[in-house]
Structure 1
Amino acid sequence: MSSSPFSQDQPPSSPEIKVLIDEEARSLYCYVEQSFRSKGVQYYLLMPIDSPVSIIMWEEDEDAEQAILIEGEAEIDALFPKAEASLAEEGLTLKRTSFTLTVAGELPEPEDDDILTLEIETERAWEEEEFQLLAIFSHKNQEYGVYTPLVPLLFFAKAEPNGELELLSVDELETIKPILEEWMFN
């Protein structure tokens, strides 16, 4: 009987951990969910150890409220202290990690009132994603929320010859898509 590469029948006694480092030398510690080798390149499917979070601003317009995802480094720098303080009140520690903000600590169970559904633009289309509200704070008379996605955030990376990991670009993902599909469904 052959087993699937995604088979999780017996969890490893100690999960393998890899580190993603960005241009600012920030790191993101991740569990290796899966790995495979193709054409001499080692690929990894990684899940952050801490919970990824996003800061979302609420903007009132004539018809309704609009949620705006805060992505700019300068904006995040300005909001970080207040977001950090609001999460600390909930027993969570905000971290400035590579590729995403994260929180350490035990997340509360999601309640219907705390779930936000947003349409997020991806490379190909608009997709709905659900987020759980963790904390609310104000900055310069503007309300913000700190949210974590309900679906785990995963990263695809490859090992470079020097041993460091590099996130796959959209083009690289498209190139190895047939290999990934075969790997995932066998």
Structure 2
Amino acid sequence: MSATLIGYARVSSAAQSLEIQTAALTAAGCTKLFTEKKSGTSTAGRSALEKALEYAREGDTLTVTRIDRLARSIADLQTIIRCLKQKGIALRCTEQPVDTSTAAGKAFLDMLGVFAEFETNLRKERQMEGIAAAKAKGVYKGRKASVDREEVMRRLGVGEGKSSIAAALGITRMTVHRIAKEALTAAEK
């Protein structure tokens, strides 16, 4: 059986296009493509990546356009690289000189992973600074409550059971319990 060039393309949001990456992977000779629109901050929930890793066999090459398409944390990147190495699968990037079979290539790969993680951390810091500034101005109020706490308390007040309230409002029994406990704690203060 001949080796397969497997392409993996990822963008972070549904609004972004995979077209440029898929065209580059096809031009690089990839005959099997896996694509998804998911955040790269974690490998959790990235089903196309899981399928690509399951599909790949010894001698195959997993190809991405850039390392940050594969992982944005050095820990996730190292886990993926370890998995590829154990299965005898090479990793190649179309836009970066990555070759996992050499010491220099491995070092370069690790450096790219560190920079991808650094970029993610900087973005998080900027986001938190923006949220803090918006809160200070009174502009940012956070996410709207998804549970009508007053309705939960009203129903509890008339003696309705927690399971019944949870079913009626489409929430878990634990949420009803937590709201009741918070109200009790607030009343004791």
TM over 0.5: no
Larger helix percent: 2
TM-score, length-normalised on structure 2? 0.23
TM-score, length-normalised on structure 1? 0.23
Higher relative contact order (CA 8 A, sep 6+): 1
Higher Cα radius of gyration: 2
